[in-house]
Structure 1
Amino acid sequence: MEGLGERGMRGENFDSGAMTRGTREEDSDSKFGSDNIEGASGNDHDGPESKSSRMKKYHRHTSYQIQELEGAFKDNPHPDEKARLELGKRLNLEIKQVKFWFQNRRTQMKTQLDRYENAILKQENDRLRIENIAIKEAMRSPVCGNCGGQAIIGELSMEEHHLRIENARLREELNRISLLANKFLGRSVTGMANMRPMLANSNLELAVGRNSFGGLSSLDAGLSMGLDFCYGDSSALPIVASARPVHGVNVADSSSENKALFLPLALAAMDELIKLAQVDNPLWLTNPDGRGETLNLEEYTRSFPPCIGMKPSNFITEATRERGTLTLSSMALVEALMDVNRYADLFSSMVGQAALIAVISLGINGTLNGAIQLMYGQFQVLSPLVPVRRVNFLRFCKQHAEGVWAVVDISVDTFREGPSTYEYANCRRLPSGCIVQDMPSGYSKVIWIEHTEYDENSIHRSFRPLVRSGMGLSAAKWIATIKRQWECYTMIMSPSSPNREQAGITASDRKSVTLLAQRMTKSFCAGVCATMHEWDTIRIGNVEDTRLLVRRSVGNPGEAPGVILSASTTIWMPLSQQHLFDFLRNEHTRSQWDPLSPDGPMEEMLQISKGQDVGNCISLLRASATSPNGHQNTFILQETSTDSTGSLIVYAPVDVPAMNVVMTGGDSTCVGILPSGFSVVPDCFQDSVESNFDGTSIKESTGRNSKGSLLTVSFQILVSNSPEAKLTMESVDTVNALISRTLQGIKAGLQCS
């Protein structure tokens, strides 16, 4: 029954007996939501006692129980025994009652879908029969296209004959899309019959040796850009010309009416993404430095109607496009993007939090082709001076050809009611995403597009050039992050890798250490941007340049219970990103700036490489045996990552016994982590008129033009072992003094003011 229920929800395994059962079951459909007949078995000829026994098991749920059960069913229609037990305890129901309710609900869903699909197939059959009759009548008396008189078949050119066949096929595809869209949305979709082709002559080229994106053959002309509900058919489909803006819709309500609004929006976003991805598109301008591209806003405004309403007057546009080669297949990337947890882990430094609000479409035949999800995301630049971008958006996945996939995001100007209120605030996401095509040997080519409108007034003036240029959350940064993370996965899972590590360490040991390091880095990013956890902001009059956050940990896995204080600040440094990164990750110069490290050099006892760049690695450091005050009972776990868009150095002290467990493949959650570290990004100042943090120009304060970096420093400390303790000024002074000494040490070590 469970297997049939899942396939029934996807419209698969059509049951020819559903129509016969439909009349008998239609009157009782509504009872599945409130009634539960437990363990009904046997036949109708049982004696009175047997019938009486069955009637005693009849149970009517309360409205509260129904509401909770429906919510649980929406999240997971096939709960396991543990989930059923927890749900039963919460609702004061036996586990058997919960099990039977879910079985009845799945049966009801399958029955309704079966009946509806039968009706659709009957309508399709009648339409085809009528069309067949009309075609036969037309063939009996063909008409000449030039003179309008009687014609013979031989007068029809081969080209016209093929065009007529293609036209008939397209009409049939359009009708099938309308019918199947109705099934997925649960109601009639108006305007589907009036859709017109938008990309009949479009040619999506993932470059043929042009624009530094060679080696990938172009796709056929007229590539399908629409939502293809046709099983295995990737032919050209019509596209919605423009979509209605979606305003004031409660995204927690996944009703058919809301879905009817979301589908045209997803189609229009996919259409726009494909057009923007064309290689020789005049919409894009090459950046002055020759790297990357930015959007020609005037041309874009003329070419595309606003699909989510007009841009607010106080918003500015950030749009970038980038091409690249990935060492993973298109399917692997698509699966990661459509899984909200894997997506958040893959881009942990850029995505502070991601949540799946509702599934609009599951996809076709159990695949991701045609899948549409309503999601919530927090996009971050690692600095307390740049607000987190909180966005509700649709994510639509489409397979355009064999080995060619596209994933597009589009903002939904909505809010979510409930305990967690996600409010549309400081930005909105226009059609953004990627198109990826498989190459030989498991590689793939990708075109990535990022297009966002945001409120620049909320960003500190020193970060505005970086964000405005697209470097903060640019298409290049998304591709670079994918490359780095996938290289890390490949190196860690390899049976043998060129690592400087202890003898006998295995792939399992490396994986355990890597998981700990990734958790440390994710916690660091959350402390800088106030994401992932419930943080409270501390406002103190004499603290101006440092953002203080506090949260109360109740002893979750990998965390010690108590009050955790996070302090972050950003300064401008007259040094390049690479220079700063090399200095901060060097264990020999660490004692110059790290107040928590002993005097003298540190010793690197383990290094796990995460990729080809030597700066992408995980290290385990300890005090050198020759250090005068060396502490041999504490390790420092450090993870470093770097690319052209920014660098990250995160570290945390760890106990030797706990770390030894991790280094032998043990559970990494046994190690408590309080991370500290640095984020370094190029300042992107174009000239000396850009303002420094104190309002003076860069040239006035440093004697030089830009070519500097923005350095963010962040520390997390446990100020109390009791979650109920109150924060004291002494703790605030301690963490501020820690940041001050660290920055002074860095400036002294680099000999810069």
Structure 2
Amino acid sequence: MKPNPELEKLLMIDIAASAMKELIELLTIDQPFWIKSPTEGQYVLDHDSYYKMVARSKGFRNPNPRIESSKDSAVVAMDARLLVDLYLDPVSLNYPFSLIVKLNFWLVGMCFNHFHILQDKWVDVFPTFFSKAETISVLKGGLLENRDDSLQLFHEQVHMLSPAMQQRDFYLLRYCRQIETGVWVIADVSYNYFRGASHVSQTFYWKHPSGCMIEEMPNGLSRVTCIERVEVVDDVPVHTMYDDLVNSTLAFGAKRWISTLQRTFERYAFLKEAGIFNDELGIGNESMIILASKLIKSYCSIFSLFGTSDLHQLSELTKNGVHVTSRKNTSPDLPVGIVIIAASSFWVPASPERVFSYLNDHLMRSQWDILCNGSRVCKISQTPTGQHSSNAISVLQPQNLREEFMIFQESVFEQTGSLIVYAPVEMTRMLELATGVDPARVPILASGFAITPDGPDGKDAPSTSTSKPLPAGSLITAAFQILACTALSVDDKDVSTYVFPFADALVNRVVRVIKNVFD
């Protein structure tokens, strides 16, 4: 039977209203719903109390569901109304100019000359968390002055920066209510919608009423309280390395999302306060910051390539556990030709702080970076991007090399996941950037490392033998992009025969070096 659009719209409005009612109760009533887990340190839902409010069978997809529930709260350096707008406008080809001005373009690493690039703003702002975000349909526009009663059908893909982790795909109803002056609640709830979708996943995740409360605070700050509740519909396999991270909700839960919000807006606020955006500092600073945002997004986009069904893509998992894939690139953002992407995730018995400190130390870089060819590396410049001393945009230069290039890098340290992302850039291009050249004209291949804890703080990693348990450690993903050749007509067989083994050996060498440092 052909669906009735009006009846379906009424159904979606009813589902969204019910989700909003439930979420407000979960947000405003701590006891008895939320308890602090003694082993994981996270606030989790007490299901016995919850089932007294909501019938156990309501909304569950499986008779014995596994629910990941989490709650977290923090102050973020962003105006509450702008944050609400950001939630409700994830994609816009013609994004309102007034709001772009209020965001100063820097929030998404863009400037006035680049506003036409804002095609996927949600991913532009939060690339470490989202690989895709789009509004399918605006069901209710809401009030213009405060976005109250806005309802939309929304599609998002959430990822971890590892080829070993499956993306989480959601079709959501996103509903916004202003429950009092200066306080908004945004509710997300899964909805069965597959018309027009390019695929229907056989194993997917179902989001029960989740979302956030955004409270206006003085001085342009906001308090954000986030709740995430996801049911694993099928028993989706998780790599054993990531079991504890996923089960503790640190992989996809409220704490990671709040941490992402804090770090994103801290970067913006810190750069603004430090005067990086002042005209007297020169437009070259603007170009560097825009290029850094492009660098991070380029790196994060790597992980959406693994496991895709693109007919123009080769892919394999080597005996060393390295995921290798290829793509033929014609985009001006990347060098034209065949690009090889190779990545591997592994565990080391060292804290994320120690791993980050080692990989971010330019004096140690020659030990693992093939770009340096064993040469000493000098730090040419560093632009701080946060309170942590290592949060910075840097320009590095290997010494005693024939090739004239620099390494452009951004390092990001945060508790739930850190990044060290870099790309070689020709010296002439770097000099052009200093004069304010359009960063879109600088093709880059981002490589680097994503570093996460292996589970909750203080947790012992499981032992692999009968010996005493290993100390808590870090999960590292090393991912590299390599321009194999500048011709697009190379035979796929030649790529897999000659280039894939080189990429495998490159990643395997880097992994061995890092493991040897911490073993």
TM (norm. structure 1) is: 0.60
Alignment-derived partner of residue 104 in structure 2: none
Quote the residue 2:149 is aligned against. Answer: 370
Q: Determine the structure 2 residue equivalent to 1:648.
A: 419
CA distance in 1, matches of 2:182, 2:488: 52
For residues 79 and 131 of structure 2, the distance between their equivalents in structure 1, rounded to whole angstroms, comes to: 26
**Counterpart residue number, 2:255:** 476
Q: Against the structure 1 CA distance between its residues 438 and 744, is the aligned structure 2 distance closer, same or farther, given a 3 Å change threshold?
A: same
Q: Where does 1:275-290 land on structure 2 (aligned, <5 Å)? A: 275-288=25-38
Question: Larger relative contact order (C-alpha < 8 A, sep ≥ 6)?
Answer: 2
Is 1:637 equivalent to 2:415 in the alignment?
A: no
In the other structure, the counterpart of 2:509 is: 741
- For residues 229 and 500 of structure 2, the distance between their equivalents in structure 1, rounded to whole angstroms, comes to 39
Alignment of 1:206-285 (within 5 A): 255-285=5-35
CA distance in 1 between counterparts of 2:280 and 2:378 reads: 18
Alignment of 1:717 with 2:493, yes or no, is no
Does the CA-based 8 Å contact 1:354-1:377 persist in structure 2? Answer: yes
Number of the residue aligned with 1:546: 322
Partner of 1:348: 127
Distance in 2, matches of 1:667 and 1:464, equals 43
Are 1:521 and 2:296 an aligned pair? yes
Match of 1:294 in 2: 44
Corresponding residue of 2:206: 428
Matches within 5 A, 1:259-658: 259-288=9-38, 291-305=41-55, 309-313=59-63, 315-340=65-90, 341-365=120-144, 367-417=146-196, 420-421=198-199, 423=201, 425-454=203-232, 455-494=234-273, 496=275, 506=281, 508-530=283-305, 538=314, 540=316, 543=319, 545-554=321-330, 556-624=331-399, 629-631=400-402, 633-658=404-429
In structure 1, C-alpha distance between the alignment counterparts of 2:235 and 2:372, rounded to whole Å: 39
Cα distance, 1:667 vs. partner? 0.8
Offset of 1:538 from its aligned partner?
A: 4.0
Q: Specify whether residues 277 and 532 from structure 1 end up closer, same or farther in structure 2 by C-alpha distance, changes over 3 A only.
A: farther
SS in 2 for 1:324: strand
Q: Does structure 1 retain, via aligned residues, the 8 Å contact 2:34–2:46?
A: yes
- Provide the rounded CA distance (Å) in 1 between the counterparts of 2:65 and 2:503: 36
Amino acid of the structure 2 residue aligned with 1:602 = V
How many Å separate the matches in 1 of 2:260 and 2:307? 20
User: For the Cα contact (< 8 Å) 2:76–2:266, is it kept in 1?
Assistant: no
Distance (Å, rounded) in 2 between the aligned partners of 1:566 and 1:663: 29
Match for 2:500: what amino acid?
V
| CA drift at 1:687 | 6.6
Cα-to-partner distance string for 1:407-437 (whole Å, 9 max, x where unaligned): 111111221326x335473211111111011
- SS of the residue corresponding to residue 194 of structure 2 reads strand
> In the aligned structure 2, how far is the partner of 1:471 from the partner of 1:483?
16
Deviation at 1:652, TM superposition (A): 0.9
- Deviation of residue 532 (structure 1)? 13
Deviations 1:60-83 (A, max 9, x none): xxxxxxxxxxxxxxxxxxxxxxxx
Give the distance between the partners of 2:67 and 2:471, measured in 1 at CA: 23
Distance 2:401 2:477 in 1: 28
Q: Is the 8 A contact 1:616 1:640 kept in 2?
A: yes
CA distance in 2, matches of 1:315, 1:659: 53
Aligned residues with identical type, % of pairs: 29
- Distance apart, 1:544 and its partner CA: 5.7
Deviation at 1:531, TM superposition (A): 7.7
In structure 2, C-alpha distance between the alignment counterparts of 1:700 and 1:496, rounded to whole Å: 56
Distance in 1 between residues matched to 2:316 and 2:403, nearest whole Å = 38
Counterpart CA distance in 2 for 1:314 and 1:710 is 30
**Matched residues in 2 for 1:507 and 1:387: separation?**
43
- Listed one character per residue, the Cα deviations across residues 302-347 of structure 1 (whole Å, up to 9, x for unaligned) are 3224697323257521111011112222101111111113322222
Which deviations, in whole Å up to 9, do the C-alpha atoms of 1:544-570 show, x marking residues without a partner? 61222222212x231222222211111
Structure whose residues are more often helix by fraction: 1
CA distance in 2 between partners of 1:689 and 1:443 (Å): 38
Q: Larger Rg: 1 or 2? A: 1
**TM-score, length of structure 2 as denominator length:** 0.86
Give a deviation string over 1:81-125, Cα, whole Å, max 9, x none. xxxxxxxxxxxxxxxxxxxxxxxxxxxxxxxxxxxxxxxxxxxxx
Name the amino acid aligned to 1:612: Q
Whether the aligned pair in 1 keeps the contact of 2:276 and 2:285 (CA below 8 Å) is no
Q: Secondary structure at the match of 1:323?
A: strand
Contact 2:306-2:315 at 8 Å conserved across structures? no
SS of corresponding position for 1:453: strand
Structure 1 residue 496, shift from structure 2 partner: 2.1
Q: Provide closer, same or farther for how the CA distance between residues 735 and 321 of structure 1 changes in structure 2, counting only shifts above 3 A.
A: same
Does 2:445 match 1:669?
Answer: no
Deviations, residues 496-553 of structure 1 (Å, cap 9, x unaligned): 2599xxxx98264333212211212112112124289985664557536122222221
Q: CA deviation digits over 1:158-186, x for unaligned, max 9?
A: xxxxxxxxxxxxxxxxxxxxxxxxxxxxx
Give per-residue Cα distances to partners, 1:264-299, cap 9 Å, x unaligned: 111111111111112533111113268431111232
Deviations 1:652-681 (A, max 9, x none): 111111222223322111111111111111
How far residue 608 of structure 1 moved from its aligned partner, in angstroms, is: 1.5
Question: How has the CA–CA distance of structure 1 residues 606 and 272 changed in structure 2, closer, same or farther, with 3 Å as cutoff?
Answer: same
Change (3 A) 1:505 1:527: farther
Which residue identity does 2:244 align to in structure 1? Answer: P
Determine the C-alpha separation between the residues in 1 that align with 2:80 and 2:50.
28
- Aligned equivalents of 1:256 and 1:505: distance in 2? 56
What CA distance in whole angstroms lies between the structure 1 residues aligned with 2:343 and 2:317? 16
SS of the residue corresponding to residue 228 of structure 2 reads: strand
Q: Is the 8 A contact 1:594 1:745 kept in 2?
A: no
CA distance in structure 1 between the aligned counterparts of 2:402 and 2:64, rounded to whole angstroms = 54
Equivalent-residue separation in structure 2 for 1:249 and 1:573 (angstroms):
55
- Give distance in 2, aligned partners of 1:319 and 1:548: 34
Q: Determine which structure has the larger strand proportion and give its number.
A: 2
- Matched residue SS, 2:152: strand
1:577–1:708 CA contact under 8 A, matched in 2:
yes
* Number of aligned positions between the proteins: 484
Contact 2:318 2:324 in 1 (8 A): no
- CA spacing shift, 1:449–1:507, aligned 2, 3 Å: farther
Residues 724-744 of structure 1, C-alpha deviations (whole Å, 9 max, x = no match)? 432232110110111011112
